[in-house]
Amino acid sequence: MDISEILQLADEVIFIKTGQHLDYLQEAILRGTLQGQKYWKIAEETHASEGHIRDVASELWKVLSDVMGERVSKSSFRTKVEQSLLSNVASPFGKNILRIGNVNICPQNSQTSQPAPKTEQTSTQPHIDLGDAPEIFSFFDRTTQLTTLETWILQQHSRLIAILGISGIGKTTLSLKLIEQIKHNFEYIIYRSLRFSPTLETTLTNLLQIFAPKSETPQNIETQLSQLINYLRQHRCLIILDDIHTIFSSKQLAGQYQTGYENYHLFFKLITQVNHQSCLIVNSWEKPREVAQLKKENNAINCLLLEGLGETAKKILREQELLDEECWQTLIDKYQGNPLWLEFTSHLIKELFAGKVSEFLQCDTLILSESLQAQLDQQFQRLTPEEIAVMIQLANENEPVTLADLIKNINLPTSELLNAIQSLGMRLLLDTKEEDRTRFFSLNAVLKQYIKNRYTERNNYYLPNPIANV
């Protein structure tokens, strides 16, 4: 048996004995035990004290000992469960009965077992709470991405999905369109933006009040997490948390939580590891570190990198009544098919060039409206000085460059430079390609022009040559 099967079996026998499923700490203790972890390591990963973990574990071993009819401890748990599997018998009703110590359970059909995720439509209208979600006025064809998300959620039963992309690419719009498409498969659908950087306690309180508006919300974060997981088990839920990059630190490498926000890591980890029938979608400019880490050991996690629009971006230009349609694809390509960048640029063309795209494209340099640059400012203000140095060097390059080129041309310790490049990749700001087993790095035209417009000699002490004039 693999770990997930043992945990599900333990959850079932605990439920039969106590009427309650494993809470997140109990499941973390069992998982850590099966992985050979010490109590201090389990405590570190759950942000609890080692003493508290030992107390919870002691009670858990007592319950399991009672269920199995023999002493169960941290060192003997797996052996006892696997030995108990030998007591399979057939029931008079033709169902398979599994005897675990003093308890008979029916793993495939028991009413007390964890319900399988539902892929059929629910018979009642879902409870939809979109909070402060923006209204969608236009949606540009993302059929492929919607199909992928629907497959992950309804067929593969993903528990955590990260939708990643640079500012303005359409993450929020895609998420809200997805709700329209699959809402009848859920009992609860919730959207919340983290744009104001709420603590995990605030976020959990908000979510719990949706499920039980008249109940008093516990103040203890451990109890809040346990209650939320139970709701995710009892109901088929789709929860979307937008703008999660706001809980990461500015002026530090990508994906590092602000002080006081580290327990979001535990929350995301629990969502992927604990048995439930729901899905959490997170939208971000930055790739959360746990997405990459947990993906290696858990196939319930998926990541969608959202890229620019193609032919469908012409709808934006058509809505703005721009002229010279034969030039539209060139404009789309220059602005990377980014819906928001194209919208800002379309307004500028309409106001200053009377809608003539051909005339706009005759400008010597790529024109970035102040609105577009202000949008990018929000993302670039989060970068470290080392990351800015890399961006400035890449903006000064006419062709993609290798890692060796960057090490040669940027006056930084190699370790700091490598960390900065990796961080920029997590922020989705670099274009990369591989040729002959060599990785090349570059910037798209918009980011290159933005760097040249916004950054001056205050950063040039990292570089052997000043940035080229434009």
Strands 438-442 and 401-402: antiparallel
C-alpha to C-alpha distance for 360 and 160, rounded to whole angstroms: 43
pLDDT digits (tens, 9 = 90+) for 264-291: 998 998 898 888 999 999 999 999 887 8
Would strands 103-105 and 96-100 be described as parallel, antiparallel, or unpaired? antiparallel
If you ran DSSP here, which 8-state letter would residue 1 be given?
-
45: CB partners within 8 A, 6+ apart: 28, 32, 37, 266, 269
CA-based nearest residue to 178, from 143, 126, 207, 214? 143
Angle between helix 370-380 and 445-454 (nearest 10): 90
pTM of this prediction? 0.76
- Number of residues that make up the chain: 470
Q: What's residue 256's pLDDT?
A: 92
- Nearest alpha carbon to residue 23 among 302, 215, 274: 274
Q: Which domains does the chain have, with CATH numbers?
A: 3-81 (1.10.10), 127-305 (3.40.50.300), 312-364 (no CATH), 376-456 (1.10.10.10)
Residue 429's pLDDT is what? Answer: 96
| pLDDT at site 300 | 83
Measured distance CA(12)–CA(10) in Å, rounded: 5
Instruction: For residue 382, give both structure tokens.
Output: 């989060």
Going residue by residue through the chain (470 aa), what tens digit of pLDDT does each one get? 677 778 877 887 777 777 777 887 888 888 888 888 888 888 887 777 888 888 888 988 888 888 777 888 888 887 777 666 545 433 332 333 344 444 444 444 333 344 444 545 555 688 999 988 888 777 777 889 999 999 999 999 999 999 999 999 999 999 999 999 999 999 999 999 999 999 999 999 999 999 988 888 888 888 899 899 999 999 999 999 999 999 999 999 999 999 999 999 989 988 988 889 999 999 999 998 878 777 766 678 899 999 999 888 999 999 999 999 999 999 999 999 999 999 999 999 999 999 999 999 999 889 999 999 999 999 999 999 999 999 999 999 999 999 999 999 999 999 999 999 999 999 999 999 998 889 999 999 999 999 999 885 444 544 444 444 33
Report yes or no: 129 and 190 within 8 Å, Cβ to Cβ.
yes
* Separation between Cα atoms, residue 464 and residue 17, nearest integer Å: 70
Q: What is the largest CA-CA distance in the chain?
A: 85
